[in-house]
């Protein structure tokens, strides 16, 4: 499993993946702190050339630290995601310009009000128009018994 983590400053590969493919790991004295401030055990580093299936014209060299703290996982750093073309180079400041003809007919001062009225299910000044139901079709999530469930992120607002 690959986790793209825009908060990661370096990529990390689990030791079990390294051992399965018998990859050569270099010694390192580098240290790594996890997002919660606790240290992550590092057993070495590896340099890889990565080419994604859908981006055959683009490959990049990646330095990743190796850790037994991950299990069957690769953690891609922000820098490596940009190098692989998964994120724009100016992330997180990427802005797409709306070229819709529907907006060209309106003056800029009323664009937002127009969008709010046209797409009221998306834009709102309050949450009172939301119900407890999803706007999409009903979804069932099936958890596997053979994989441990681990918390990846906790977001508090």
Domains in the chain: ranges and CATH? 2-83 (2.40.70.10)
Contact in structure between 105 and 40 (CB atoms under 8 Å): no
Q: Tell me how far CA of residue 15 lies from CA of 44, 74, 122, in angstroms.
A: 9, 10, 43
Report residue 105 as tokens.
Answer: 């007919």
- Per residue in 47-87, pLDDT (tens digit) is 999 887 776 677 788 999 999 999 999 999 999 998 888 88
pTM: 0.58
Q: Where are the alpha helices (DSSP H) in 84-148?
A: 101-104, 108-118
CB 82 within 8 A of CB 88: yes
Contact status, residue 23 vs residue 49, Cβ threshold 8 Å: no
pLDDT by residue (tens digit) across 77-131? Answer: 999 998 888 888 888 775 555 555 555 555 555 666 777 777 776 666 665 555 5
């Amino acid at each position: 499993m690959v986790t793209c983590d825009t908060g990661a400053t370096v990529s990390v590969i689990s030791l079990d993946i390294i051992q399965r493919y018998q990859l050569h790991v270099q010694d390192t004295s580098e240290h790594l702190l996890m997002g919660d401030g606790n240290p992550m055990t590092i057993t070495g580093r590896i340099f890889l050339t990565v080419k994604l299936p859908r981006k055959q014209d683009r490959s990049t060299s990646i330095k990743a630290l190796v850790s037994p703290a991950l299990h069957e996982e690769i953690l891609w750093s922000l820098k490596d995601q940009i190098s692989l073309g998964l994120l724009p180079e100016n992330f997180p400041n990427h802005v797409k310009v709306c070229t819709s003809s529907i907006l060209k007919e309106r003056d800029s001062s009323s664009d937002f009000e127009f969008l709010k009225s046209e797409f009221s299910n998306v834009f709102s000044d309050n949450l009172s128009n939301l119900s407890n139901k999803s706007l999409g079709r009903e979804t069932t999530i099936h958890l596997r018994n053979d994989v441990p469930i681990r918390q990846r992120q906790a977001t508090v607002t």
